[in-house]
Structure 1
Amino acid sequence: MFSESSRRSFLQGVPAAMAAASAVPVLNAAVDPVPGDVRLGVASYSFREFSRSLAIKGTKALNTPYLCIKEFHALYRSTPEELDKAKADFQKAGLTLTGGGTVYMLKDDMADIKTYFEYAKRLGMPMMNIGATAKSLPMIEKTLKDYDIQIAVHNHGPEDKHFPAPSDALKLMKDMDPRMGVCIDVGHTTRTGKNVIEEIQAAGPRLLDMHIKDLRDLMNRDSQVDVGDGQMPIVGIFKQLKKMNYKGIVHLEYEINADNPLPGMQKSFAYMRGVNAALRA
């Protein structure tokens, strides 16, 4: 999955990140560092070039217990015993699995949908971020009633023929189970031309998860930069989340510098923690 050189670069960056994180109060998986802060976590896609053990090390270096995993770090095709091992690895590290995905449930096939719920159940996930269609959503809603796992439709911007913006999914969820909601990816949302803060506000209680990133050009997916260095209205987003008393996690999905993401992720976390601190004042 990763080269020896990228592994060495990553491991060399961990001590520095740990040292920087030591200035921040240690987080507890069950207790916010400061009540009312927007809670920050990691989308493990950020560590897509690295093994599960290195993804765990990177998350711990960022001083957060909250991790939303991508399949790279616990494969769908795993045996039950392999999934139990993955779950134990996360637990031993003191990490809380907040969810997984994006999990694509595009088939009109209840048996196929159920396999992903079984996967999430085995790992102890409370939520799945999903790709879905208008036809599969009602089938997914029906299945979740047997599993009590939240479902957050992840929007993927103009290229997404099903749900480009969060509001496109919300239109179909109006009368659905309250455990059905959205995971707003702020970068994909702005690329649709929608106002991301208005999309967050419109989601209300159906906002179950968020993926945060920053773009130098809000319409260009290839312009991603460290959070705070672009045009994304991070302060306004956090203000809106606090106003809504958002209970979910804001997961950093860092899609650049794949061979050595930790320095940019540390910088992004520092900026967002600074926003949290400023909004406390």
Structure 2
Amino acid sequence: MTNRRSFLASSTAGAGFALAAPPASNPNIHELNLGVASYSLREFQRSLAIKTLKQLNVTYVNIKEFHLPYILPPAEVEKGRKQFEAAGLKILGGGTISFQKDEEPEIRSSFEYCKNAGMPLMVAMPTRAILPKLEKYAKEYNIKVAVHNHGPEDKNFPSIQDVLPLVKNMDPRMGVCLDIGHESRAGKNILESIDMAGPRLLDMHVKDLKDTMVRESQCDVGDGKLPIVAIFKLLQKMKYAGGVMLEYEINADNPTAGLAKSLAYCRGVLAGLSA
């Protein structure tokens, strides 16, 4: 077993960790797309969120509506997208977008939003009844739909294991976004869920918990009990091509230090695995 702390120690030292660069790629190791879900910076305006992501040497981002509101006119959505892109950020997706009403115009409007925002993937929270209707739009817009699990409080999809039977025969663009914290709290083995999902695993939200069953125990990645090293090893083995998005839900008013520490730990894990 690899010591979790050794990865973090090898990746950074002292205050300089905030600007730690991603590890150099190893051509013999499948590279993961480590990024940040902008929900982590939900109390920051768009320009400050982008500036912070760049200071943290982030390349990949999933955009939450706080930084690109759904209600904006298409031209303003495109303008916001270009701000992310001009900063060198690669948009891998956005959401979570909720579908609780069975209304076709609302569904189409959400896909139009994702198209204008340059999102190749939509993280979605549909009901079981609405989920099949999203497939038509995934095909029409060529936008992937990743159904997000939300733990035991979610009456539809507490685990991605609840989604997989419903999408197994759908278009390949239909799959899941695995939130590893919620999956743990749903009482599932995260590694088994990843293995079960296979190519249906389209996106991930990464965090850590000091108590694997308690939402309020979220902590900086590396300080908790979720099997980050084993998760990354499995993702590399299966040549996972989606986003591995850090979703930092604590310290909303001042998340930068925790984000930096969590990114440094994840980068340290990847550097260790590459070596």
Fold similarity call, TM over 0.5: yes
Match of 1:124 among 115, 118, 124: 118
Q: Is there any run of 5+ residues in structure 2 with no aligned partner, and where? A: 1-13
Question: Partner of 1:88 in structure 2?
Answer: 82
Question: Partner of 2:17 in structure 1?
Answer: 20
Q: Find out whether 1:262 has 2:272 as its counterpart.
A: no
Question: Partner of 1:185 in structure 2?
Answer: 179
TM-score with structure 1 length normalisation?
0.89
For the 8 Å contact 2:212–2:226, the answer to whether it is kept is yes
TM-score with structure 2 length normalisation?
0.91
Q: Is there any run of 5+ residues in structure 1 with no aligned partner, and where? A: 1-15, 27-31
Q: Find out whether 1:103 has 2:100 as its counterpart.
A: no
RMSD: 1.6
Q: Deviations over 1:69-105 (max 9, x none)?
A: 1100011110122112101111111111110010011
Question: Partner of 2:213 in structure 1?
Answer: 219
For the 8 Å contact 2:20–2:56, the answer to whether it is kept is no
Q: What secondary structure is seen at the aligned counterpart in 2 of 1:146?
A: helix
Question: Partner of 2:150 in structure 1?
Answer: 156
Q: Distance in 2 between matches of 1:119 and 1:22?
A: 32
Q: Deviations over 1:4-41 (max 9, x none)?
A: xxxxxxxxxxxx98x53555259xxxxx8444232210
User: Percent same amino acid among aligned pairs?
Assistant: 57
Q: Distance in 2 between matches of 1:202 and 1:234?
A: 18
Question: Partner of 2:32 in structure 1?
Answer: 38
Q: CA deviation at 1:144?
A: 1.5
> Quick one: structure 1 residues 142 and 273, their matched pair in 2 at CA, closer, same or farther if it must change by over 3 Å?
same
Aligned length: 260
Q: Find out whether 1:172 has 2:166 as its counterpart.
A: yes
Q: What secondary structure is seen at the aligned counterpart in 1 of 2:88?
A: coil
Q: CA deviation at 1:239?
A: 1.0
Moved over 6 A (4+): none
Q: Distance in 1 between matches of 2:224 and 2:22?
A: 27
